[in-house]
Amino acid sequence: MSALTPEDRAQLGRMVVNLLDDWEIEASHQISMLGLPEGTRTRMLRRYQEDTPLPDDPAVMKHVEHLMGIADALRTTFPRNASIGVLWLKQPCKRLRRRRPRDIMVEDGLSGLITVRTHLDCSFAWRETERKD
């Protein structure tokens, strides 16, 4: 996600904040999940939903990339019912040490997003494994 225009970042902001709302993530947790600077007020999220571009910050864009990847993986994992994906995020997962995926994403920051995405998206996991070799 490099060299995005302000219009692209505004559209991305609308999409990702709506996504987090659909996942029923509290506003204060949305700020941390987006990698926004500490001290960002929750009202800023509503501005992103309207037309304010997300910050042109590589850390924020990395968080957004993984959130969108998770959303995509949930759509392919549960193609017939999007609400099942939201339910999956709220339930303890045996393969994630009985932690809830949304708790992992909130509490563990970027590494939590990567953990959940890796669990859901095998092609992403394979690419990550190839990079380490």
Q: Is residue 18 situated within a structural domain? A: yes
Which residues constitute the domain of residue 108? 6-132
- For 34-54, what is each residue's pLDDT tens digit? 999 989 999 999 999 998 999
- CA dist., res. 108 & res. 105, Å (int): 6
Q: Is residue 43 situated within a structural domain? A: yes
In this model, does residue 125 exceed pLDDT 90? no
- For 57-103, what is each residue's pLDDT tens digit? 999 999 999 999 999 999 999 999 989 999 999 999 999 999 999 99
pLDDT of residue 103: 97
Greater confidence (109 vs 1) lies with 109
In this model, does residue 26 exceed pLDDT 50? yes
What DSSP designation does 55 have?
Answer: P
Greater confidence (125 vs 33) lies with 33
Q: Is residue 1 situated within a structural domain? A: no
Q: Is residue 114 situated within a structural domain? A: yes
Please report, for residues 37, 39, 73, 120, 124, the alpha-carbon distance to residue 76 in angstroms, rounded to integers and kept in the order given.
Answer: 31, 35, 5, 9, 13
Domains in the chain: how many in total?
A: 1
Contact 57, 101 (CB under 8 A): no
78-88 in b/e burial notation, b at 16+ Cβ within 10 A? beeeeeebbeb
